[in-house]
């Protein structure tokens, strides 16, 4: 089994992760990262396509087009966050960091590809390595890469995400729906400013914004069925610059998270009603920008259980955790709308190494010793997949 030789690649795995961590690039602005990935894959004698869907990279190890084909996906974009860790591999790019683990995802897939390429003769099928750009920002890189035929010939797909919620040695899984639908909204309230001592001569957008923020909280608590999980969070409120001036405008933005299209539509419609009510009662006008997010990740049972069975063969994985659905978003969902597959979570939490901050935090880090678990699960899943489909 390939997992028996994987540990000898651990130093290179960590070196790759730290390289990407030190040189992050924002979504849809990735240049050096895909170039590095492409060069690495070419050195493995893997056929490489660049610029897939814009900035994606696809490596193909095709032995025979008539054989089954399994794809493995990783994402490589970073976030507009200042890295506040004091570590040797701290981001060298001001205001940009890998605060979600995509550096680790990329390193894991590259080492997986390296091991598989060195043993390609023993693999009775085809492999496709999908390195995806722009997972963090809608419309996301997945749908663009799919439109550019990254799934050509693919019969199934697997992927993983490091998790700061799971300790090293734990692996999280879920059959069926895993993630939610992450919608975002931006609202500009247009009023008529004036002197703060004479509010009767103005149309106050600040007062309207405060009322709107309160009204929006009633949507989830009083309009959505208690059995339908949903979140509406206001994350930004901006208005005015001086104490004695009522401004002309106020801006509000936030996110809405749901699991199904019916609840998503209900909340959107109620949001519109709240805005129309403000027009009537306060006299403001508004501009609404609403962006629907990725569909839910829905793992197929056969592929998910294949990963669970593979994880049971990895000695360093000490616990399998069946997860509850979470309202975060992930555009791996688009691949699963086209082919069967599964997405799992690799534990990288370790308080002793300060690797316990949440994703998207300025001090986010991982215990790198957890990464080899992801490599081994990928390797074992590949072996098990082709053994099963070739029976």
Query: Which element (helix H / strand E) includes 371?
Result: helix 371-389
For residue 306, the SS3 value is helix
Active-site annotation, residues: 77, 135
For 232, other C-beta atoms within 10 Å of its C-beta total: 21
**What would the two tokens of residue 44 be?**
């493995």
| Residue 100 assigned to a binding site | yes
| Cα–Cα distance for residue pair 366/343, rounded to 1 Å | 19
Q: Computed over its alpha carbons, how large is the radius of gyration of the chain?
A: 24
* Helices assigned H by DSSP within 84-222: 102-118, 141-147, 205-222
ω into 114 cis (within 30 of 0):
no
Identify the burial level of 221 via C-beta atoms within 10 angstroms of its C-beta, where 0-12 means exposed, 13-18 middle and 19 or more buried.
Answer: exposed
| Residue 161 assigned to a binding site | yes
Residue with tokens 């995400």: 161
Query: Which element (helix H / strand E) includes 75?
Result: strand 69-75
For residue 170, the SS3 value is strand
- The closest of 181, 194, 171 to 330, measured between CA atoms, is 181
**What would the two tokens of residue 249 be?**
């405008």
In the chain, what is the straight-line distance between the N-terminal and C-terminal CA atoms, in Å? 18
- Binding site feature residues: 100, 102, 136, 161, 360
- Binding site feature residues for Mn(2+): 100, 102, 136, 161, 360
């Amino acid at each position: 089994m390939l997992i028996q030789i994987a540990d000898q690649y651990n130093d290179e795995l960590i070196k790759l992760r730290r390289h990407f961590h030190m040189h992050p690039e924002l979504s849809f602005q990735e240049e050096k990262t895909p170039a590095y990935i492409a060069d690495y894959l070419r050195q493995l004698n893997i056929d490489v396509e660049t610029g897939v869907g814009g900035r994606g990279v696809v490596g193909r190890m095709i032995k025979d087009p008539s054989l089954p084909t399994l794809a493995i996906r990783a994402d490589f974009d970073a976030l507009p966050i200042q890295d506040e860790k004091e570590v040797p591999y701290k981001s060298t790019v001001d205001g940009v960091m890998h605060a979600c683990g995509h550096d680790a995802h990329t390193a894991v897939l590259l080492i997986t590809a390296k091991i598989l390429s060195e043993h390609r003769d023993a693999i009775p099928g085809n492999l496709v390595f999908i390195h995806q750009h722009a997972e963090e920002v809608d419309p996301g890189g997945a749908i663009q890469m799919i439109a550019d035929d990254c799934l050509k010939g693919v019969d199934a797909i697997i992927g993983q995400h490091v998790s700061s919620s799971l300790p090293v040695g734990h692996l999280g899984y879920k059959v069926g729906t895993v993630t939610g639908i992450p919608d975002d909204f931006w609202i500009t309230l247009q009023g008529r400013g004036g002197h703060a001592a004479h509010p009767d001569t103005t149309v106050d957008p600040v007062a309207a914004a405060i009322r709107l923020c309160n009204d929006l909280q009633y949507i989830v608590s009083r309009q959505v069925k208690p059995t339908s999980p949903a979140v509406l969070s206001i994350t930004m409120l901006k208005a005015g610059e001086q104490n004695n001036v009522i401004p002309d405008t106020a801006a509000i933005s936030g996110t809405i998270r749901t699991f199904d299209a019916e609840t998503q539509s209900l909340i959107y419609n109620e949001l519109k009603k709240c805005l129309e009510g403000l027009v009537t009662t306060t006299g403001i006008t508004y501009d609404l920008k609403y962006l629907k997010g990725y569909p839910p990740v829905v793992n197929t049972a056969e592929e998910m259980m294949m990963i669970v069975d593979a994880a049971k063969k990895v000695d360093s994985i000490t616990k399998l955790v069946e997860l509850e659905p979470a309202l975060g978003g992930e555009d791996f969902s688009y691949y699963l709308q086209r082919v069967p597959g599964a997405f799992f979570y690799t534990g990288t939490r370790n308080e002793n190494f300060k690797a316990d901050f949440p994703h998207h935090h300025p001090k986010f880090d991982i215990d790198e010793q957890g990464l080899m678990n992801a490599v081994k699960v990928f390797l074992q899943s590949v072996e098990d997949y082709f053994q099963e489909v070739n029976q």
